[in-house]
A and B are shown apart, each in its own frame.
Chain A
Amino acid sequence: MKASNQLWKEQLREKMPENLAREIDIFETEIALRKQGKLDERLFAETRLRRGTYGQRYDNGQRNDGRKVQQLNFPSGRLTKGPNTMWDAPGMQRIKIPAGGLNAVQLETVAELAEEYSDGIAHVTTRQDFQLHFVHIDNTPNLMRRLAAANITTREACGNSVRNVTACPYAGVCQDESFDVTPYARALSRFLLGHPDCQNFGRKFKPAFSGCSQHACGLTALHDLGLIATKRQNPETGREAIGFEMYVGGGLGAVPYQAKLFSSFVPPDELLPLAQAIARVFARYGEKKNRNRARLKFLIQDLGIEKFRELVFEERKQLPFDPRWTEYIEQALESAEAPSRSPGDLPELVTIEAGERGKEKFNNWLKCNTRPQRQPGYVTVTVALPLGDITANQLRSLADIVRRFTRETIRSTVEQNFAIRWVSKTDLPELYRALDAVGLGDAGSGALVDIAACPGTDTCKLGISSSRGLAAELRKRVSEKSFQSDEAVQKLHIKISGCFNSCGQHHVADLGFYGVSRKIAGYAVPHFQVVLGGEWEHNGSSYGLPVVAVPSKNIPQVVSRLTDRFVSDRRSGESFKDFIKRSGKTALKTMLEDLTRPASGDRSFFSDWGDPREYSLGDMGVGECAGEVVSPLDFGLARAERELFEAQLEFEKGEAEQAAKRALAAMITAAKALVQLENPNIGDDHDRIVSEFRSRYYDTQKFFDPFAGGKFANYLFDAYATSAQSHTSESSRYLLDEAQLFIDAAHSCSNRLETPVTV
Chain B
Amino acid sequence: MADDSGFLLSQMMEELSVEFQHINVKLLLHEPEPVDLEAIVPIFHSWIQDQVSEDLLLDVASYGHVKAGPGVVLIGHEADYSLDHTDDRLGLRYNRKAVLEGTNQERFERAMRQALLALERLEHEPALQGKLRFNGRDIEIFINDRLIAPNCSDSLNQLEQELRKLLAKLLAGQSYSFAYESDPRRLLGVRIQFGRDFTTVDLIKNIGPAPVEQVS
Contacts and interface: CB of A to CB of B under 8 A. Distances in A.
A597 B101 CA distance: 55
Contacts of A108: 185
A2 B41 contact: no
Given A4-B148, A112-B146, A387-B65, A121 B70 contact: yes
B135 interface: no
B86 A119 contact: no
A63 B58 contact: yes
B187 A472 contact: no
Contacts of B65: 386-387, 389, 472, 475-476
Interface stretch (A65-73, A283-291, A653-661, A699-707): A65-73
B77 A75 contact: yes
Interface stretch (A23-31, A35-43, A390-398): A390-398
A115 B45 contact: no
A65 B48 contact: yes
Interface range for B: 35 or more
B144 to A, nearest CB: 6
A394 B88 CA distance: 12
A121 B77 CA distance: 17
Interface of A: 1-4, 7-8, 11, 57-58, 63, 65-68, 70, 72-75, 88, 90, 108, 111-112, 115-116, 119-121, 133-134, 136, 386-387, 389-391, 393-394, 396, 438-440, 458-459, 472, 475-476, 610-613
A67 B49 contact: yes
Nearest to B93: A120
Given A391-B69, A439-B67, A119 B61 contact: yes
B75 interface: yes
28 contacts: A2-B21, A3-B21, A58-B59, A63-B59, A65-B48, A66-B45, A90-B75, A111-B185, A116-B22, A116-B144, A116-B145, A119-B70, A120-B86, A386-B66, A387-B65, A389-B63, A391-B68, A393-B86, A393-B87, A394-B66, A394-B68, A396-B185, A459-B61, A472-B62, A472-B64, A610-B62, A611-B45, A612-B41
A136 B76 CA distance: 11
B42 A72 contact: no
A66 B63 CA distance: 21
A196 B215 CA distance: 53
Given A72-B58, A116-B144, A613 B68 contact: no
B98 A612 contact: no
Contact of A1 (B56, B59, B69, B97): B97
Contacts of A2: 21-22, 99, 145
B58 A90 contact: yes
Interface string B43-64: 0010011010000101111111
Contacts of A121: 61, 63, 66, 69-70
Task: Give me the 8 closest cross-chain CB pairs, A-B, nearest first.
Answer: A439-B67, A3-B21, A4-B147, A612-B42, A120-B70, A386-B65, A391-B69, A65-B49
B33 interface: no
Among B21, B38, B70, B98, the one with the most A-chain Cβ atoms within 10 Å of its Cβ is B70
B41 A7 contact: no
B49 A120 contact: no
A48 B75 CA distance: 23
Interface in B159-176: none
A610 B64 CA distance: 10
Contacts of A472: 62, 64-65
Contacts of B41: 610-612
B146 A119 contact: no
Given A108-B185, A472-B64, A3 B59 contact: no
B216 to A, nearest CB: 11
A437 to B, nearest CB: 10
Contacts of A120: 63, 69-70, 73, 86
Contacts of B3: none
B22 A610 contact: no
B77 A88 contact: yes
B109 interface: no
Interface in B121-176: 144-148
Given A3-B19, A66-B49, A389 B66 contact: yes
B145 A4 contact: yes
A607 to B, nearest CB: 9
Contacts of B67: 394, 438-440
Given A57-B59, A90-B75, 5 more contacts: A72-B77, A75-B77, A120-B73, A391-B70, A612-B42
Contacts of B59: 57-58, 63, 90, 134
A111 B186 CA distance: 9
Contacts of B61: 119, 121, 133-134, 458-459
B74 to A, nearest CB: 10
Given A121-B69, A439-B68, A612-B42, A115 B144 contact: yes
B181 to A, nearest CB: 11
Contacts of A90: 58-59, 75
A389 B70 CA distance: 11
B183 interface: yes
A757 B142 CA distance: 57
Given A3-B22, A387-B65, A65 B56 contact: no
Nearest to A458: B61
A153 B59 CA distance: 28
Interface in B12-56: 19, 21-22, 38, 41-42, 45, 48-49, 51, 56
Contacts of B148: 3-4, 7
A476 B80 CA distance: 27
Contacts of B77: 72, 74-75, 88
Contacts of B183: 396
Contact of B45 (A134, A391, A439, A613): A613
Nearest to A120: B70
Interface string B176-190: 000000010111000
B180 to A, nearest CB: 16
Given A121-B70, A472-B65, A1 B86 contact: no
Contacts of B42: 612
Contacts of B147: 4, 7-8, 11
A389 B145 CA distance: 22
